[in-house]
Amino acid sequence: MGFSLTRQRFLKFPPGGTVPSPHAEVLLFPAEKNLVKNRLNGYITGQKVENRSSELILKRLKVYFLGSGAIAVPSLSVLRNACDFVELSGVGSQPDRPAGRKCAITPTPLAQAAEKMGILSDKPHSVNDPDFIARLAAMDLDFIVLISFGQLLKAPILQLPRFGCINVHASLLPRYRGASPITSALLARDPVTGVTFMQMAKGLDSGPVFRTIERELRGDEYADTLETALGLLAAEHLPEVLSQIASGTLCAVPQDAQRATVCTKVHKADGRIHWEASAAQIEAMTRAYRPWPGAFCTLGTARKQIALTIRRAAVIADRPADAKPGDRLPSANPGEIRIACGDAVLALLEVAPAGKKPMPVKDFLNGWPKEERGMLRVIETEGNECT
């Protein structure tokens, strides 16, 4: 995100009048590089408003940012670069935790990115700790912005900022409230997803919605790349949303609780393939569970078994009548392994054996003795997690 935003926050002073309340503040911002269109018609940055006699005095929005996942990084970058519009009062992230095969203590993706930007992140074990809340209260914040943070905010912190706490959620609420909206959208093969800007309230992602931004899905997206795309989409619209909330030109609308769905945290075992499922469902798993936990199974012969993650696959045909789920089927294509599923056939095209880098199926097969390649089959086991 190499651009900078030049939006500005202004207090409107009536001629001869007193300073109004914060809710009478007016936000002015020009469009920059086609990133965001100026929807506050009639305002001219840094000058008097046309057809108005009010004087404009500069004041930036004070924002504290809470985030942990990679999806939050573009929005942090935008707010950091919007120095004429935003005073970034601080950044908070989850504490460092063990990660990777060696369980090395590692900062969150957001904390790592913040460090590269020259920002030292707070890492509270609980944002609801009274001492931490007291620190935030002393900042006299306009907003707390939260994206993929990982802790619930209770009433004392929700009530701190002048314009409230704004959560950016990676779904079109009220669909997919909860911890895994991107994964859930891909598993369901939804035709559209997006991001939601909502006012935080008690309850799981149940607060009123300021704006939803849609993104069409083609049916070939992977969770990691879709997360990146949605992070950029959120960052593109975040400054405008904050501006319009603070100016009073954007109001939140309650969610329709009758349409709400909830998605839970993804667990390792969720990635285990059960071949009785439909081929389309398993193919969706290969995209929804990337990079973690992956859609995994075990292939092998009587001599050797290998746990592997299916990185790329395709639904290619109806299942033969005499085939059972999990059967390996013949194929004239040396670059695929065909497996019968509950209703059709799935062609494995790219796999990652445990402890190795992803590879085309052709390379995987070439790693077996020639006489064993045709003998490879699915091995049913509950211990086939790929690490």
The CATH number of the domain where 153 resides is what? 3.40.50.170
Last residue of a domain, one of 225, 242, 262: 262
Q: Which domain, by its residues, includes 111?
A: 8-262
pLDDT at position 20 over 80: no
Q: Does residue 294 sit in the same domain as residue 247?
A: no
Q: Does residue 307 sit in the same domain as residue 326?
A: yes
Last residue of a domain, one of 262, 282, 313: 262
Q: Does residue 32 sit in the same domain as residue 96?
A: yes
pTM for this prediction: 0.84
Q: Does residue 146 sit in the same domain as residue 255?
A: yes
Total domains, the chain: 2
Q: Does residue 126 sit in the same domain as residue 246?
A: yes
Q: Does residue 274 sit in the same domain as residue 255?
A: no
Q: Tens digit of pLDDT for each residue in 311-342? A: 999 999 889 999 999 999 999 999 999 999 99
Q: Does residue 206 sit in the same domain as residue 299?
A: no
Q: Does residue 174 sit in the same domain as residue 303?
A: no
Q: Tens digit of pLDDT for each residue in 150-181? A: 999 999 999 999 999 999 999 999 999 999 99
CATH of the domain at 347: 3.10.25.10
Residue at 223 is within a domain: yes
The residue type found at 344 is A
Question: What is the rounded average pLDDT of the residues 177-189?
Answer: 98
Q: Does residue 221 sit in the same domain as residue 274?
A: no
Residue at 342 is within a domain: yes
Q: Does residue 72 sit in the same domain as residue 86?
A: yes
